[in-house]
Amino acid sequence: RLRDQRRNRLYRPDQPMVGRTLYDAALVGGAQAMGQPVGALEVGKRADWLVLDGNDPYLATASGDAILNRWLFAGSDRQIRDVMVNGRWVIRDGHHADEGQSSRAFAQVLRELLG
C-alpha cells in the first residue's frame, strides 16, 4: 500500500469488485489445496453452495457482484438463507435439517446434567 500509494491493492480496472477477485481466487485455491473436484458449478463436481436472502435490505439494494462485495465485507450469517453440502440441503430458510432433533437432544442432556 505504501509503495504504490493505493489503499485497495486488489482493485483492477478489469475487475473493480474486489469481492469477486477474492471469491474466484478462493475457489481455485481451495480446490487445488484439497485436491478435490470442487470450486465450480460443473457436472461431476460436488454441489456445495449457499443462498443469500434476497429480501435482506442491505443485499436487495445491490446487484451483480456488488451483492457479493456487500456480503463478504459487511455481511453476516443472518443473510444466509439456504446451504447445500455435497448435493444435500442442510439448511433451508435459515434452519438446519436436524435442528429440532438437536434441540431436543441438547435439552435432554441439560436435564440430566442439571437434574
Instruction: Please state the pTM of the whole predicted model.
Output: 0.71
**Residues near 84 by beta carbon (within 8 Å), at least 6 away in sequence:** 47, 48, 49, 50, 90
Compute the distance between CA of residue 31 and CA of residue 19 in angstroms, rounded to an integer. 18
pLDDT in tens, 14-64: 766 888 888 888 888 888 898 877 777 788 777 888 999 999 999 999 999
**Residues near 19 by beta carbon (within 8 Å), at least 6 away in sequence:** 65, 68, 69, 70, 71, 72, 73
pLDDT in tens, 93-107: 999 989 999 999 999
Domain range summary for the chain, segments of one domain joined by +: 43-114
Residue 94 CA, distance from chain mean position: 13
On average, the pLDDT of the chain sits at: 86
pLDDT in tens, 55-82: 999 999 999 999 999 999 999 999 999 9
The three cell numbers of residue 113 are 446434567
CATH architecture of 43-114: Roll (2.30)
